Each structure stands twice: as C-alpha cells, then as structure tokens.
Amino acid sequence: MSELRAQLSFKCPRCDALRNYSENCRIEEGVRILFCINCGWEQIAPLPSRYVNYKPDVGRFVTKWGEPKKTRAIRLTDEAWENLEQIALSYGVNRADLLEIWARGILNDECSYCALEQLLKTYLLQWATKLS
C-alpha cells in the first residue's frame, strides 16, 4: 500500500514537502498543473496519453500489472461513470487503472476496507428499506 501512496503523491522541488496529487493538482486545457500550497511552486505537466502503453508494432497494449488484462463490462449510472472519470483525471490515469489500483489495494489497507464495508452496509440497508 505504501507503493500506491508513493504513486499518488509528489515531492515539491522547492520546499521538499510531500504533496498529494488530488489536493495539489488541477487540470486546465489538457495540461496538469502541480502546485505546492506551502511555498507557491507550480509546474505544468502534460497529461499522460491514454495510449501510453499501446505498442503499434505489436498492435496491442502492453501490461502494467504483470498479467494481461481482459475487456470487462460493468453497468454504472452516468453519475458514477463521470465521478470515476473526474477522479481518474485528477491522478492522470484512466478509469480502468483507477479501478485496478483500488481493487488491488483495498484488501491490504484496513482503513479503506472498513470504510468500504461501512458504505456498502449503509447502501444495502437503504435499498432494503426502499424495497419493503
């Protein structure tokens, strides 16, 4: 899990503070702007291409996870789909990688697992009362 946290943060080159991407990054006109709220440092960085792992000579994407991915289908509301897109963009990844990172890390992080469990129980209880 510490490896995942390291991927979701960056070190400010001016003040050496460790900054969280989601709180210290904004997207404007196709670029990512990293900034530090402590010292005012800013840097413009291009958004990673969604095809960064595509190898045209092979005609497919290369694996990032040590095993090949398969195309899957999930059913989501428009709101959930857009929320996934917004979160993924804030970290410079796509929806599939966002879900992969979350799914691989959730069982190793007790706090996240407990929060998910509580959220699921709350929603299941709400749905059950709506049905009865």
43 Cβ contact list (under 8 Å, min separation 6): 13, 33, 34, 35
Q: Given pLDDT bands bounded at 50, 70 and 90, which one contains residue 109?
A: confident
Check: CB of residue 5 under 8 Å from CB of residue 18.
no
Average pLDDT, the chain: 78
- Write the pLDDT tens digit of every residue in 27-76: 776 677 888 988 999 988 766 655 556 666 666 666 777 787 888 999 99
30 Cβ contact list (under 8 Å, min separation 6): 46, 47
Per the DSSP assignment, residues forming a β-bridge with 26 are 33
Element (H, E) at 26: strand 25-28
Q: Rounded CA gap, 47 and 93, in Å?
A: 9
| pLDDT reading at 112 higher than 90 | no
The pLDDT of 70-98, averaged and rounded, is: 87
**Which amino acid appears at position 116 of this protein?**
L
Q: Rounded CA gap, 26 and 42, in Å?
A: 11
Place of tokens 């996240």: 112
pTM > 0.75:
no
